[in-house]
Structure 1
Amino acid sequence: MGEWTVRILSWNCRGGLQNKFSELIKVRADLYLIQEVGNGQKWLNLDDFPNDNYLFESKNGTTHNDRNGILAFSLNHDIRVKANNNLFDLDMRYYQYLTFGTYDVLNVWTHAPAYIEDLYSFIYVNQQKLLLNKSNTVIMGDFNSNVIWSDHEHKFRNHDDLNTLMEKYNFASGYHEISKTPFGQETDYTFRQKRRGKINKYYIDYAYTSDKLIQNFEVIHNFDDLSDHSAILIEVEN
């Protein structure tokens, strides 16, 4: 292990980040990847928001008409969050590619109607730039998918297909690599959905990196009362 690790946190905040920001940054991270961020960008007015070290993307007003977007920011002004636009985005929502120090990071928020099919297609088209001979790529965010849903709803380009593609390049899911839990048998959850008076819990947020890059993985439940998603946090060797 190196002298220190980089902490990356991902969270679908379900909008209203400006009202949740103070709680979010109580969990220390070097890089924050936030999905479903309101495109009104009211968080820019917060005293603690690093408005010189962030990236925000929304497809509102272009091909799509989305009310939300995807955000990456860092409170560490010694490491810059920089856009990396050398991937084919195929006009999909949302795949924010950036560099952070020595890392290439893909911030993911899959969107209706295709969800995992779009993610598989995006990574497949860009696999040489994202995965080939890459020991410093982090693919992380709200995939809105698991193998149980995927096998039922997506016959092709499903989550099993994504895992097969990742394994070809020795990439693994941090949760499953650290916990040694098979896909579909997760004992923790990152998403809660209320149906017929019952709260159902699912695992649908992921961090994929090259094998053994992740030193630690946590599901953070501190914000469960602020969103239907829990946060995930990884530590990667610097």
Structure 2
Amino acid sequence: MRIIEWNCQGAFRKKNDRILSLQPDILIVPECESENKLKFGDLTPKPNDFFWYGDSENKGIGIFSYSDYKFELLKIFNPRFRFIIPLKVIGKDSSFLLFAIWAMDNKEKPEERYIGQIWLAINYYSNLLSLPCILTGDFNSNKIWDEKERVGNHSDMVGFLEKKNIFCLYHMQENIEQGKEIHPTFHMYRKTEKPYHIDYFFASDLIIKDGFEIKVGKVENWIDLSDHVPLTLEVITKTKLEKINDLFSEHMTIILKELSADSKTRFNDIIADLIEKAKKIDNLNESIKNLKKREQFIEKYEKLFEIDKLINKLYE
């Protein structure tokens, strides 16, 4: 299986020839436009399956299958984490979880920007990380920026994943420490004198037990198209996903149990209403419109937790 991740820096419909010549089975493209813009069969070769999510039709994250693999968005998906997309990947010979990542800024909560988004997401999806999974994309992160104030930094993320037996494949292959990379994946402003390593493949030991190979694209082959080079993972895996109970309502019920006893009493009716609304969300399809409804719901429960924290502070 060949999985390629490449931040195309926009306008993928005008750039796809070169990356598709590498014959990916699965392709993850941060900064990719929506299907309406891609015009499958005209400007972009039609994939066997495709998933896209973003705030604007001009830029989001696109996941393409050019093989027999099919995608299924997990019902537990939390669109508040921009953009960490959890997908079941199901093929004839194997299946696994894929977390496709384009870590974004957060101007309202700077401590949650970039690596902060990923840190919050892996904690939210923590109970799924014991399953065979791959996390890949533009993390916009490196250990060299650990000192920046975040809810969780790069080293925190690496350590958290390693406890789940999920490892960074580039660093494993090259036997090199985080922050000491010798193959940059990003050149700021497309200047070769500004190199950084911010794109990654992490994978479960279950997936890589029979070996793998990571390839980092050469800057001279890609800098005319993007400020990023592609990362390619070659791996043979026969992992199979068991049935996943990932109902959004069940996950929300577990989270709401973490409220203080006082808040549970004060807001009992609101909590019951939120759980009922979450059950309705379980049955919605994966249209962007419905995913936005989910986001509005999540905003409500987050506000409830903010109120809970304020109440607890009053009693301190």
Instruction: Tell whether the structures are fold-level matches, with TM greater than 0.5.
Output: yes
- Structure 1 counterpart of 2:37, from 34, 41, 63: 41
Query: In the alignment, which residue of structure 2 is the partner of 1:160?
Result: 155
Give, in whole Å, the separation in 1 of the partners of 2:192 and 2:187: 10
State the Cα distance separating 1:88 from its structure 2 match: 4.1
Query: In the alignment, which residue of structure 2 is the partner of 1:177?
Result: 172
Query: In the alignment, which residue of structure 2 is the partner of 1:57?
Result: 53
Gaps of at least 5 residues in structure 2 are: 107-112, 238-316
TM-score (norm 2): 0.65
The change in CA–CA distance for 1:51 and 1:9 in structure 2 (over 3 A counts) is closer
The change in CA–CA distance for 1:198 and 1:57 in structure 2 (over 3 A counts) is closer
- Structure 2 counterpart of 1:202, from 196, 201, 204: 196
User: Does 2:98 match 1:105?
Assistant: yes
- Number of corresponding residues: 221
Structure with the higher fraction of residues in helix conformation: 2
- Structure 1 counterpart of 2:217, from 217, 220, 225: 220
- Structure 1 counterpart of 2:144, from 148, 167, 174: 148
Residue by residue over 1:75-118, the C-alpha shift from the partner in whole angstroms, topping out at 9 and shown as x without a partner, is 22xx2332222334152211222222212111100000311011
Query: In the alignment, which residue of structure 1 is the partner of 2:74?
Result: 85
Give, in whole Å, the separation in 2 of the partners of 1:122 and 1:23: 32
Structure with the higher fraction of residues in strand conformation: 1
The one of the two structures with greater contact order (alpha-carbon pairs below 8 A, sep at least 6) is: 1
Query: In the alignment, which residue of structure 1 is the partner of 2:228?
Result: 229
User: Does 2:60 match 1:69?
Assistant: yes
- State whether residues 90 and 122 of structure 1, in contact with CA within 8 Å, keep that contact through their aligned partners in structure 2: no
Does 86-95 or 19-28 show the bigger shift?
Answer: 86-95
Residue by residue over 1:7-65, the C-alpha shift from the partner in whole angstroms, topping out at 9 and shown as x without a partner, is 100000011111111111111211001110123523425365225511111233xxxxx
Residue by residue over 1:118-163, the C-alpha shift from the partner in whole angstroms, topping out at 9 and shown as x without a partner, is 101101111111x12x2x20100000000102x1323540001101
Does 51-60 or 224-233 show the bigger shift?
Answer: 51-60
Give, in whole Å, the separation in 1 of the partners of 2:198 and 2:235: 21
- State whether residues 119 and 151 of structure 2, in contact with CA within 8 Å, keep that contact through their aligned partners in structure 1: no
**Identity of counterpart residues, as a percentage?**
27
The change in CA–CA distance for 1:44 and 1:188 in structure 2 (over 3 A counts) is same
For residues 100-139 of structure 1, the aligned pairs below 5 Å read 100=89, 101=91, 102-113=95-106, 114-129=113-128, 131-132=129-130, 134=131, 136-139=132-135
For residues 11-22 of structure 1, the aligned pairs below 5 Å read 11-22=6-17
Does 109-118 or 151-160 show the bigger shift?
Answer: 151-160
Give, in whole Å, the separation in 2 of the partners of 1:47 and 1:226: 16
Q: Which has the larger radius of gyration?
A: 2
